[in-house]
């Protein structure tokens, strides 16, 4: 006779507070669930026939789990079956008879894309952070990063994604897309996101990355001459553009001259401010593991990135939010 396992008799070991469990516990407290659900609820299907649909909160939690850990729709379905912690975070009770399958997960993602809810989620999160005094609007830092896409043509269509493109950075070629962001110069929180094919120049998106209330904008040397562009002069004529000096020009300065020494100090100050734009990129690439696109086309990937940057904003200020909640 097979011996009964203690894992099925109610004598389970106490759950260790692993890094993944601690991460999900913190995010569970700082995510504004009620406001997000109110945002999505008007667009959710009624489900009057057939099996009752899963609760919106359950599907939203599963969607955010995908962003946290980089799961595709099929992988997310399997993870829900395999990992109790995921079911716990998604509020799927132990006695539930079925779990959302990959088609259900996909339909919820399409719901967010169809109604442009990714942009609204980012705006909602930023509005709450602004109310808490965590995001100011006097300055902006802008930058872009490359996100790789599959370059192989061994797929059902026999071609690469037509909305992606290749570009050369340094001595290496990259195929994929660019994510352009505008972040708050004080906190480093993302307020604006745009996407393009990888071969688009960073400067073409500069005007779209400003919210219109900033007085000064910081950018690297790739944006030199941005103040002369027509769209910038038309939409943001009063902005003070602080563009980094070209590296070669900066290296050639004679530091023994007092004027050049002051210029070097100014460049160091500008560089310390610009460094804040790299923090959100680090969160989505290292913390969330998003180094390659998950879908074909810019629209789907943009919707995903908007949600991820909303989550990265919450992640970056989670300690301050939790301290305020405990006070």
Mind listing the pLDDT tens digit for each residue in 277-321?
999 999 999 999 999 999 999 999 999 999 999 999 999 999 999
Strand 172-184 to 190-197 pairing: antiparallel
Q: Smallest Cα–Cα separation from 25: which of 70, 92, 79, 85? A: 85
- Decide if pLDDT at 66 tops 80: yes
Give me the helix-helix angle, 298-316 and 117-131, nearest 10°.
20
Confidence tier at 44 by pLDDT (50, 70, 90): confident
What Cα–Cα distance (Å) separates residue 220 from each residue in 55, 75, 241, 246? Answer: 45, 39, 11, 9
Contact 192, 182 (CB under 8 A): yes
Confidence tier at 52 by pLDDT (50, 70, 90): confident
Mind listing the pLDDT tens digit for each residue in 232-275?
999 999 999 999 999 888 888 888 888 888 989 999 999 999 99
Half-sphere exposure of 165 (CA within 13 A, CB side): 12
User: What is the token pair recorded at 82?
Assistant: 């395999």
Confidence tier at 135 by pLDDT (50, 70, 90): confident
What Cα–Cα distance (Å) separates residue 263 from each residue in 92, 276, 316? Answer: 59, 21, 32
Residue 303 neighbours by CB distance under 10 Å: 23
- Does pTM top 0.95 for this prediction? no
Confidence tier at 50 by pLDDT (50, 70, 90): low
Half-sphere exposure of 90 (CA within 13 A, CB side): 29
- Once rounded to an integer, what is the mean pLDDT over residues 208-236? 94
Contact 311, 288 (CB under 8 A): yes
Q: Which residues contact residue 148 at a Cβ distance below 8 angstroms, ignoring those fewer than 6 apart?
A: 174, 175, 176, 291, 292, 293
Residue 119 neighbours by CB distance under 10 Å: 17
Confidence tier at 38 by pLDDT (50, 70, 90): very high
Position 17 scores a pLDDT of 83
Q: Look over the chain and give the mean of its residue pLDDT values, rounded to a whole number.
A: 90
Alpha carbon distance 248, 182 (integer Å): 26
Confidence tier at 12 by pLDDT (50, 70, 90): low
Alpha carbon distance 206, 144 (integer Å): 10
Q: How far apart are the first and last CA of the chain?
A: 56
- Once rounded to an integer, what is the mean pLDDT over residues 209-225? 93
Confidence tier at 157 by pLDDT (50, 70, 90): confident
Position 116 scores a pLDDT of 95
């Amino acid at each position: 006779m097979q011996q009964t396992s203690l894992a099925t008799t109610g004598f389970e070991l106490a759950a260790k507070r692993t890094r993944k469990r601690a991460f999900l516990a913190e995010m569970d407290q700082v995510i504004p669930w009620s406001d997000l659900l109110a945002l999505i609820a008007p667009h959710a299907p009624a489900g009057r026939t057939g099996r009752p649909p899963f609760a919106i909160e359950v599907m939203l939690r599963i969607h955010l789990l995908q962003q946290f850990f980089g799961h595709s729709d099929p992988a997310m379905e399997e993870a829900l079956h395999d990992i109790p912690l995921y079911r716990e975070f998604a509020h799927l009770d132990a006695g539930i008879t079925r779990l959302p399958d990959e088609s259900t997960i996909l339909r919820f993602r399409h719901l967010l894309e169809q109604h442009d809810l990714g942009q609204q989620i980012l705006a909602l999160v930023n509005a709450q952070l602004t109310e808490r005094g965590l995001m100011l609007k006097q300055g902006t830092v802008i930058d872009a990063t490359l996100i790789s896409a599959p370059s192989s043509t061994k797929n059902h269509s026999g071609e690469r994604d037509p909305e992606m493109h290749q570009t050369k950075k340094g001595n290496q070629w990259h195929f994929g897309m660019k994510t352009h962001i505008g972040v708050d110069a004080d906190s480093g929180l993302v307020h604006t996101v745009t996407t393009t094919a990888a071969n688009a120049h960073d400067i073409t998106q500069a005007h779209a990355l400003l919210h219109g209330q900033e007085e000064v904008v910081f950018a690297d040397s790739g944006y030199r001459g941005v103040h002369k562009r027509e769209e910038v002069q038309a939409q943001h004529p009063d902005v003070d553009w602080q563009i980094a000096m070209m590296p070669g020009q900066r290296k050639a300065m004679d530091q023994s001259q007092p004027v050049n020494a002051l210029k070097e100090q100014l460049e160091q100050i500008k560089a310390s401010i610009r460094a804040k734009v790299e923090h959100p990129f680090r969160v989505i690439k290292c913390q969330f593991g998003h180094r390659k696109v998950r879908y074909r086309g810019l629209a789907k990937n943009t919707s995903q990135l908007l949600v991820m940057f909303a989550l990265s904003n919450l992640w970056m200020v989670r300690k301050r939010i939790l301290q305020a909640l405990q006070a």
